[in-house]
Structure 1
Amino acid sequence: MLDPALEGLFLALAKAEDTVSRLDARAQTCSFAEGWAARVDFIEASGWGWVSGEIVDLEDLVLHDAQMDARLPDQALRATYGLVRARHRARRAGPELQSSAGALWLAGYRGEPPSVAPAPLEAAEPGSAPGEARDLAGELVHQLRALSRGETDDSGEAVEEWMLWVRRLPDRAPALLRAAVALEGWRLVNPLPRQSYVGAVIVAHALRQSGRTRACLLGVEAARRALPQPRRGFLAPTLVRLAYWLQVLSLGAEAGLAEMTRLDLARQVVLKRIGGRRAHDRSRDLLDLLLARPLVSAPMAAEHLGVADHSARRLLTGLGASLMEVSGRSRYRAWRL
């Protein structure tokens, strides 16, 4: 009979494999995949801010990204927007991002991206206990415990240590299980406390580089907001912690699927409403902007369409009930699909 913690780990792995595969397959055929991915970036940043105690409105993040801030950006907004910038960079980067220089570039400590991919390492041979071979889960737990004893005060050295350690994880472990181990390892080392999101972005990028995901950059931070920590928090047993990270990946994929389905339904409703309009009408272009942004203001729509603000507001209100005004104020109003 399996140990309950081990059984829970592999049940969480099976669910994560299913949901991540369905999300990636759906993203490959989605006509507005880029807009959906941009939405996930902002949702992830908002979720990380909530977990880290930097509460920032989603509207402020979107306006800051468009350089149309309604107020002077504060430290919390700049820190949270760092995750949006990091995900933008990771989506365009290649294998050179899987290095300490790449991690520091994502964190904003380097002005130029790395240009050379790290040299491949040979996978470490599985360790063995006296008289018996260590199983996969036991080996991963052993490597995590070894990593927790190798912390350093220098951020660059700590990132490099984590990178080398991740590249030595056994190849026979499923990709998502390796991702969960890498996320837990990042938590143990904590090389960039003020940019703790970097580890999750690098792990998601590694999954994409390896081909486990092809059309999406998995999100972690928003799911961490919705999923409570294990009963004993950071002191929970290692297998429970790994199951927690797999549940985070699964929940993030489920949320991505739900958001894609909701956007597709709203898109079909709006297209049906504007289907009979004249050919020069800009409503379809406005719909593309609404699909690409979680929130849209009248100045943003006016700049995107090249029309006056009052014309943009008229087009926004003309899209019907599928468009919701979410700011609740008379100035700097914002709408979402």
Structure 2
Amino acid sequence: MRYDSPDPFHPSLLPALIAAEDALARLDERAARHPVAEGFRERGQFFDAAAALWVAGELVHVEDLVLHDSHMDARAPSHELTIAHAVLRTRRRLELAEPGWALTAAGLNVLRGEEGSGAPQIEDDGARAPRPDGDHAEEVCEAAESPADNPLADEFAALDAALARSERLLDMHAGSIAAAGLPLAQTPTAKSEPEGQLGLLFDEEWDEAARLDAWRGVLAVADQLPACLGAAVLFDAWERIEPLRRQHWLGSLLVGAYLRCRGKVVSHGLAFNTGLKTIRHERRRSKDRLTRLGGFLEAMTATADLGLKELDRLSLARTQMEMRIRDRRSNSNLPGLIDLVLSRPIVSTGLISRHLGVTPRGALNLVRELGLREMTGRGRYRGWGVL
């Protein structure tokens, strides 16, 4: 799990490093002062979440992610869509957090779901309820001493026995039972074993805490490098060390968090995956470290170029839509629809109805007046947006 830092002054890295530093600086400056900066930031969340799954080899449609985030799914969410929504929520959490929080040990524990690892506090109902006194107390005690027969007691006992047999089978596969003939009452439960010790489900030798410590050890090296190269080194170390079993996509989000901590991109969370997907797989997973680092730097440049084009596209779309509503009344819902369209990659009738407080028929009329382009081409669950 040891990671050797590269030579920052290698001639093959300097052109890509200069291009990435310049492109990200221009993007950050424009995004901080642009009229559609809020919509640009919100749309970037969705695009980056979908691109993160694309880099991992899974396909998630952006329109499905938008509807799932609004709790208006057109169909049952798939496993990939659920992961993409987890990426989206994590990006929002990183954007609201303090710069550098995600790179601390406490922040990483929260992001990987270890913030509530302690035993939950179970509240005693008896402590909240008033204590009975007098004759009523004696009646309560007598009722507690002689409970009524439970008609489902046999069924519950059968379920407990089945669960105990299943736990014993899991422990036998995990190697926690020395002899298979132990009595059932002496069999340790699966809950008493740490999650990583269940060899049937997880790799017993995979120590997430040690791997995260090894990755955080690279931070000291990255801080001595230019911001973009330091972020590329951290991402390459994440890909090599692989700290997390189930949240490997977190490494690409930490790139934006690190650049924000270094003050390189502070206006928004960098959608690094949108540029990373433009780099060929052979370069991203190359055995040569300089090739990988050059590819990651080019991915940052591509991310910045895509962001600048998105800002231009949203600015032009906003100007065209505002020209359509120039002579509208002051209480019209069309300005609210413009803000909604600019903040989402795609909007549906139900989404417009919920945000603007109009009927579905009224939402369709607003879409027609604004001249939005239909994106889905379907008869049901139609969606509109800005290209």
**Structure-2-length-normalised TM-score:** 0.71
2:216 partner amino acid? M
Residue number in structure 2 paired with 1:96: 101
Query: What's the offset of the Cα at 1:229?
Result: 3.2
Aligned pairs, number: 291
Pairwise mapping of residues 170-189 of structure 1 onto structure 2 (< 5 A)? 171-189=223-241
Aligned residue for 2:286?
235
Distance in 2 between residues matched to 1:110 and 1:64, nearest whole Å: 25
- Residue identity opposite 2:374 in structure 1: E
- Corresponding residue for residue 169 of structure 2: none
Q: What is the Cα deviation at residue 97 of structure 1?
A: 2.1
1:194 to 229, 238, 246: 246
Give the conservation status (yes or no) of the 8 Å contact 1:82–1:107.
Answer: no
One-letter amino acid of the counterpart of residue 93, structure 2: R
Query: Match of 1:336?
Result: 385
Q: Aligned ranges for residues 1-337 of structure 1 at < 5 Å?
A: 6-94=10-98, 95-110=100-115, 153-166=206-219, 168-169=220-221, 171-230=223-282, 234-320=285-371, 323-337=372-386
- Cα deviation for residue 108 of structure 1 reads 4.2
User: 1:105 is aligned with what amino acid?
Assistant: V
- Superposed displacement of residue 76, structure 1: 1.1
Task: Report how far residue 335 of structure 1 moved.
Answer: 0.6
Over 3 Å counting, the alpha-carbon distance change for 1:254 and 1:93 in structure 2 is same
User: Does the 8 Å contact 2:24/2:304 carry over to 1?
Assistant: yes
Q: Distance in 1 between matches of 2:281 and 2:69?
A: 31
Query: Normalising by the residue count of structure 1, what TM-score does the alignment of the two structures yield?
Result: 0.81
Q: Relative to structure 2, which stretch is displaced further, 183-192 or 206-215?
A: 206-215
Structure of larger gyration radius: 2
CA contact 1:27–1:216 (8 Å) conserved in 2: yes
1:112-170 deviations in Å (ceiling 9; x for gaps): 9xxxxxxxxxxxxxxxxxxxxxxxxxxxxxxxxxxxxxxx721232122211322x216
Listed one character per residue, the Cα deviations across residues 20-78 of structure 1 (whole Å, up to 9, x for unaligned) are 00100001101222221111111111111112122111111000111111111121110
Q: Is the Cα–Cα contact under 8 Å of residues 95 and 269 in structure 2 kept in the other structure?
A: yes
Aligned 8 A contact 1:159 1:191 in 2 = yes
Percent pairwise identity: 37
For structure 2, the residue ranges without an aligned partner over 5 or more in a row are 1-6, 118-204
Q: Distance in 2 between matches of 1:244 and 1:188?
A: 15
Deviates most, 265-274 or 194-203: 194-203
Distance in 2 of aligned mates of 1:61 and 1:108 = 22
Indicate conservation of the 8 Å contact 2:348/2:381, yes or no: yes
* 2:215 partner amino acid: W
C-alpha spacing 1:80/1:170, structure 2 compared with 1 (3 Å):
closer
Consecutive unaligned residues of structure 1, counting only runs of 5 or more, are: 113-151
| CA deviation map 1:172-210 (0-9, x unaligned) | 411111011111000001112432221121221121122
Read off the aligned partner of 2:379 and give its amino acid letter.
S
C-alpha contact 1:223 1:248 (8 A) present in aligned 2: yes
